[in-house]
Structures are given as C-alpha cells and as structure tokens.
Amino acid sequence: MKTKLFLCLLLAVGSSTGVFAQGRIVANSIREYINADVKIVPREDGKGVSIVSEEPMYVAGQKVNYKNSAVYIAFSLHPEWDNVLLVADWTGSMYSYVGQIIRWHKLNIDKELVRNIVLFNDGDDAISSKPKRIGGTGGIYYANPNDIEGLLEQIEIAVDNGDGGDAEENDIEAILAGLNKFQEAQDIVLVADSSPVRDIKLMYNIEQPVNIIICDTGNIQDYIRLAYYTGGTITSAYDDIDFSDRQSINPANIVFEGNIYDVSMETATLNKQ
C-alpha cells in the first residue's frame, strides 16, 4: 500500500529548506520511538523480553497500539524463531510496523534472535512504460540489526529512494535475495501488509518455511498461499495458523480472521515434489 506520510510536515520542511528529507523525518521518528520509555516483561522461554500494556504512541505519523500490534503479538506467540532473517515491506503504510520490529529487537538485542534484516520497496520509484521485471524489480536494502544507527541510515536511504509507485510488491524477490546473501539463516520472517505479491509465482523457489506477520486486514490470499506452500506460519493481531503439518489442513477451507481462503491449487505442486 503506497502512502506518502507527513505531507504537511514535509511541506513545512521543504518550504523552509528547499529539500524534502522524508527519509530523515521517518528515521528520526523511529529513533525517538525506540528510545522512549517502555514497560517490559521477561518472556517465558527466557529469550529476551516483550512489551506489554503501553499507551498508544505514534511512529512516522501512524498510531501504535500494543494491544493489537501484530508485530509484538507474533514474536510473543513464536518464541521458537531464532537466527531470524527478517524481510520487511518498506513502503509508506509499513513504517510504524518496522519501527515496532526495531524496538522489539533493541530490547532483545543481546539474544541475537534477529540476525539480518532485508527491506524492500518494490523497485524504488523506477516507474516506466515497461512493466517491472519479475525477480528483477530491485529496491532491496540490507542491514545489520545490531548496528541500530546503521539500520536507521538504511531506512532513511530507502525512504528517499521511493516506494515503488504502485500497489503490488516484490516480496518473494526480497526473500530470495536475503536467503542468497544470508545463507546461514534459520527462520524466515516476512513482515507485510495486504498488498498483492507481484512475484508470487517465484515462491516455488523457496525451500524453507516462511513465517508471515500480516499487519493489516484485506485480501491476503497471496500470503496464505505462501505460508501454506512453504509450511510456515501466518500471524496477525487476531489470528495465527501453523502450516507445518499440511496433512491436517484442508487447503480448500482455510479460515483466517473469519475469512475463508482456498489454496488447493498448491497441493498439485506439492504432490509433485
């Protein structure tokens, strides 16, 4: 979902300086958020801490309510995730969720649960008369999560370079790029909204489970397909499904947040493997 944030603030900054530094504004907002006071409790598995019962805050102009934050809920529900390759949609609607990821990681940084981060924005602002090339759209950025300032610098660069300009995203390209670069990754966690996945057909090249944190409501057919096909999980603020035992799941009747999804088309591909 493509949304340009802080329009009024950007206009004010631009009019006084002549420069529209949206990336710096977003990075500074996240920096302020991750450094704010927070109530924490130890996780039951001993792997770090979780955030609880905090008053809503704003990250990059977007409200964060911890009682229905898909990010914090997902990490609490899945303490088994370790040596994580975290792949995150980095377009306008996702700024607050990536802020939550960084905050959670900073609180648990000594555990090194998240080892590498990949941000993707669906090809920067490279819009032309030609369609984007599946698998070669670009707009992919790598960051070391243990270097918080370096991560924020990458965030600033990625924001200023654009957000793809259209609705679909290159989620699978980003996952495959991350796996190619960080081959030691144990668990893949994709953080995304309900934007369609332009390159969903590339998911057949993924050989590890993909665990998806879905951050908003909408038609998430592509993400249900991806989680089911790879034998991963999909988690929102209100629901959670584990597809590791596909034999026990009817692919034609998957219920998530009260909606029914049919991914039976994937069973034929799985049966050939």
Q: Are 260 and 254 in contact (CB under 8 A)?
A: yes
Helix (H) or strand (E) holding 261: strand 259-261
How many other C-beta atoms can be found within 10 angstroms of the C-beta atom of residue 260?
A: 9
φ/ψ of 254, rounded to 5, equals -95, 120
Query: How do the domains of the chain map onto residue ranges?
Result: 7-272
Surface-to-core class of residue 85, CB atoms within 10 Å of its CB (0-12 exposed, 13-18 middle, 19+ buried): buried
Report the pLDDT value the prediction gives residue 16, as an integer from 0 to 100.
40
Report the pLDDT value the prediction gives residue 261, as an integer from 0 to 100.
94
Report the pLDDT value the prediction gives residue 128, as an integer from 0 to 100.
52
150, two tokens: 């370096």
- Using DSSP's 3-state secondary structure scheme, residue 229 falls into helix
φ/ψ of 207, rounded to 5, equals -110, 10
Q: Are 123 and 137 in contact (CB under 8 A)?
A: yes
Average pLDDT by stretches of 10, the chain with 273 residues: 42 40 89 81 64 68 77 91 94 86 90 93 68 87 93 90 79 97 96 93 95 91 96 95 94 94 75 54
